């Protein structure tokens, strides 16, 4: 069986709803372009990271970018929301994983073509 006719990879059963939907979306994207899914572990990492990103985003929306509290003297102080920090970490990781999967971030999804010594191919 050729790589382009390879069966779709099995979705890991431990993915939550958001990660599972992202898995289906990406596998469908690769299949529609006759691209094999060579690294299912990497795809799984991307989907789980995307789910974590979405959870952090929802928490930042609920609690805000900055948390207001009082210090030991009772004076108000602003602190960066830890969910905001996590959100940025997830976003950076998604960018790296997207590149490792061969996805171009200029559009919704597009597979980068690999440059050969004769040009693109």
For the chain, give the percent of residues with pLDDT over 70: 80
22 contact partners, CB below 8 Å, separation of at least 6: 46, 47, 50, 51
pLDDT of residue 6: 57
Residue 56 has pLDDT above 60, yes or no: yes
Q: Are 102 and 113 in contact (CB under 8 A)?
A: no
pLDDT of residue 111: 56
Q: Are 66 and 78 in contact (CB under 8 A)?
A: yes
Residue 55 has pLDDT above 90, yes or no: yes
Query: What is the residue whose two structure tokens read 């094999």?
Result: 36
Region 35-64: what's the mean pLDDT? 93
What is the per-residue pLDDT across 61-120, written as a single tens digit (0 to 9) for each? Answer: 999 888 888 888 889 888 888 999 999 999 999 999 998 988 876 545 555 544 444 443
Mean pLDDT of the chain: 83
Residue 51 has pLDDT above 90, yes or no: yes
Residue of 4 and 71 predicted with greater confidence: 71
Region 3-32: what's the mean pLDDT? 87
Query: What is the residue whose two structure tokens read 């997207």?
Result: 98
């Amino acid at each position: 069986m050729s790589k382009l006719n390879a069966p779709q990879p099995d979705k890991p059963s431990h993915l939550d709803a958001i990660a599972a939907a992202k898995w289906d979306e990406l596998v469908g994207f690769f299949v529609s372009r006759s691209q094999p899914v060579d690294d299912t572990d990497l795809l799984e990492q991307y989907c789980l990271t995307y789910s974590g990103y979405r959870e952090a985003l929802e928490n930042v929306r609920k609690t805000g970018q900055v948390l207001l509290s009082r210090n030991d003297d009772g004076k108000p102080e602003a602190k960066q929301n830890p969910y905001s920090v996590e959100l940025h970490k997830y976003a950076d990781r998604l960018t790296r994983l997207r590149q490792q999967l061969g996805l171009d971030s200029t559009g919704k999804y597009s597979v980068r073509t690999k440059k050969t010594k004769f040009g693109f191919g």
